[in-house]
Amino acid sequence: MSRRDVRVLSAAAAEPYKAVVFGSTGAVGKEVVRALAESEQCQSVVAVVRRLTPVSEWRGDETKRKTGGSDANFNKVEVKRINYDTLETSLPEQEMRGKQIVFYCLGTTRSDAGSAANFKKVDFSYLEGVCQLCRVAGVDHFSLVSSQGASASSPLLYPKVKGQCEQLVRSAGYPHTSIWRPGLLGRGSKARGVEKMARFLVTPMPVETLGRAMVMEAESKLGAPPNDQVMVFSNKDIKKMMGNRSSLSSP
């Protein structure tokens, strides 16, 4: 992403939209749902989960968020439990029709998945099914959480699979595609082992910052003509974007 792209993101008039969040109970996905609940433009949010989850999962301990100061409207959050192995039946195409923006935040690690095969199944195969579904359903904007260092040619499993995921989303041909490559994430008490050690050396990216950036960037594209250019956001881009929020609404 160029310096100019960070400085000036094409914006449309504030128009309403409907969103879907996959991986909505993860650290980043949870913050995306919260940001959408606060947004006056967002009419409804489908929070996709794999296990039965109450809406209180996204409310957190705060009744008012730090930045906006306004009460989030969780009444517009619909929890949808699905089975990714039987996606066609658990999330029919018609339920995705009319949803303009999809935020894909689902992901795991080899350690949590138990094996390399299970890791690739969760990170790549599940994404593959969702990508196909969203393309057929006419989704306008697909926003993917990837990782710093993602590369399909990497000899290492994690960055290699993340790179393959990026290739998959790029090839889907959505009118708008955004890929987010955060570095170390600040997950608070849910930080992974490596993240806990690395935060003494590197300043982590707060998951709230990333979630809000994803929503703000997606809203800036509403009503904009299709763009073949895939927007890729690095840690530096995200920090600059959130440090200059006015750039998202500049003509």
Q: Where are the domains of the chain?
A: 3-248
Give, for all 251 residues of the chain, the pLDDT tens digit: 544 444 344 444 478 999 999 999 999 999 999 999 999 999 999 999 999 999 999 987 554 444 444 567 999 999 999 999 999 999 999 999 999 999 999 999 999 999 999 999 999 999 999 999 999 999 999 999 999 999 999 999 999 999 999 999 999 999 999 999 998 887 555 545 544 554 445 678 899 999 999 999 999 999 999 999 999 999 999 999 988 654 444 33
Is the domain covering 3-248 a CATH 3.40.50.720 domain? yes
Q: Are 80 and 48 in contact (CB under 8 A)?
A: yes
Interior/surface letters 205-231, b for 16+ CB within 10 angstroms, e for the rest:
bbbbbbbbbbbbbbbbbbeeeeeeebb
Indicate whether this model's pTM tops 0.75.
yes
Q: Are 123 and 107 in contact (CB under 8 A)?
A: yes
Residue 97 to residue 186: CA distance in whole angstroms: 34
Residue 40 to residue 87: CA distance in whole angstroms: 30
